[in-house]
Amino acid sequence: MQQASAPTVLDPEVRQVRAADGAEALALTGAWDIRALESRARSLNSQLRQLAPDPGRHWDLSGIQRLDHIGALLIWQAWGKHRPARLALAHAHEVFFSNLDSAAAAAPAAPFDPLRPVRALGAAVLLTAEHLRGIVQLFGQILIDSFALIRHPLRGPWREISASLFRVGAQALGITALVGFLIGVVLSYLSAEQLKAFGANIFIINLLGMGIIRELGPVIAAVLVAGRSGSAITAQLGVMRVTEELDALSVMGIPHTVRLILPKIVALAIAMPLLILWTSGVALIGGALSANMQLGISVHSFFIGLPAAVPTVNLWLAMGKGVVFGALIALIACHFGLRVQPNTESLGIGTTNSVVTSITAVIIADAVFAVIFSHVGISLS
């Protein structure tokens, strides 16, 4: 290596000396490469800039032992980005300065824009509209594909649907049960305190039954599935976009809406109502156990009283919500997955947006259901 052949490599140094003709000169000595400059660049830079201003100054670089592009650029910037007229430079070091003159061309700065906040707001609105349009478009495409599927049922992606059903449904049973049970217990515990004060113990059945079956069960299950499966769907499609797998499917003439998106929507639309039933059931068990301990209502009489307190139509309403929530979550997750740009950051943003949007959409849809069906299934016996 160079350092082995050279005697000793000295630290980089700047000195003022007198040149042969008596004029004042700046002599640079030692190693001006990255290894030496890494820790000294700042101090050397300020030293150089202090001494450099005089354009007629004589520069003696012949004493430099080692040089690389980093050192050359540092010196050249001290020169004010042009070569000084009087310069002594070792021939071997010429090459590091040879292409520096082209570096002077500065990149143009971004112009000031006073309307920026307005523009940003407009862009956000347009983006939302674009998302809405994209989701509706995707939904339309899926409907068209489904009609084609009805005519040729054998060509359907049944295998994919079954696999998705297992992933989004069966594998979610544990977490939905755990959360549902705890919510049931907590809700029952809090209500029992209030009901006891009014001596209205028996109404715990109405309260829990209506609250859980009609509202809480569907929303809790949907939020859990959005976080669990929605993010997975977006990430999967996003990675497939990054790795060009989606393009590979397209060029093989396999439409990705049929192979990838339709199975997910169908699977979630089937799994979601079932998960809701499951979550509500477990939550009711939790509530009944808690009511038994707090209010002394036996679990048996809790479930005997349930049909009278909660009309059956509420179950159908919950299942209907499930189909809509499931399809919404899948549709939104797929939409954001397909929009992922081929880079890692976009993948992260897409997944976050997908989960946030689908949870919001679920809550909005739930409110719409509440308004439309405000007269259905609510009996005051």
Partner 1 sequence: MNPVIEVQGLWTQFGDHVVHKDLNLTVMPGEVVSLVGGSGSGKTTLMRQILGLEQPTRGTVRVFGIPLQGSSAQLLHKIRKRWGVLFQEGALYSALSVFDNIALPLRELRAFDDEFIRDMVMLKLDMVDIERRHAAKMPADLSGGMIKRIALARALVLEPELVFLDEPTAGLDPDRSESFVRLIQSLHATLNLTVVMVTHDLDTLVSLSDKIAVLAEQRLIVYGTLREAISVRHPFILNFFLGERGLRALSAVGASAKLDGRH
The only residue of 8, 53, 105, 197 in contact with partner 1, by rule CB under 8 A? 105
The only residue of 45, 47, 141, 353 in contact with partner 1, by rule CB under 8 A? 45
Q: Which segment (38-46, 204-212, 265-273, 287-295) binds partner 1 by CB under 8 A?
A: 38-46
The only residue of 9, 51, 74, 323 in contact with partner 1, by rule CB under 8 A? 74
- What is the full DSSP assignment across 62-116? TTEEEE-HHHHHHHHHHTTSS--SEEE--GGGHHHHTTGGGGGSPPPPPPP-TTH
| CA-only gyration radius of the chain, Å | 36
Helix (H) or strand (E) holding 58, with range, is: strand 58-60
131 binds partner 1 (CB under 8 A): no
- Residue 343 CB, shortest distance to partner 1, in Å, is 3
Q: Which residues of 131-157 are buried (b: 16+ CB within 10 A; e: fewer)?
A: beeebeebbeebeebeeebeeeeeebb
The only residue of 26, 28, 37, 222 in contact with partner 1, by rule CB under 8 A? 37
DSSP letter (8 states) at residue 202: G
342 binds partner 1 (CB under 8 A): yes
The only residue of 7, 8, 22, 38 in contact with partner 1, by rule CB under 8 A? 38
6 binds partner 1 (CB under 8 A): no
By the 10 Å C-beta count (0-12 exposed, 13-18 middle, 19+ buried), 305 is classed as middle
336 binds partner 1 (CB under 8 A): no
Size of residue set near partner 1 by CB under 8 A:
31
The only residue of 13, 68, 245, 366 in contact with partner 1, by rule CB under 8 A? 68
In this structure, the dihedral spanned by the alpha carbons of residues 351, 357, 362 and 366, taken in order and rounded to 10 degrees, is 170
Q: How many helices (H) and strands (E) does the chain have?
A: 17, 5
243 binds partner 1 (CB under 8 A): no
Instruction: Phi first, then psi: give them for residue 240, nearest 5 degrees.
Output: -65, -35
| CA–CA distance, 14 with 27 (Å, rounded to integer) | 6
Measured from the CB atom, the residue of 39 and 381 that comes closer to partner 1 is 39
- Residue 121 CB, shortest distance to partner 1, in Å, is 24
113 binds partner 1 (CB under 8 A): no
Footprint on this chain of partner 1 (rule: CB under 8 A): 1-2, 4, 33-35, 37-39, 41-42, 45, 68-70, 73-74, 77, 95-96, 99-100, 102-103, 105, 107, 341-345
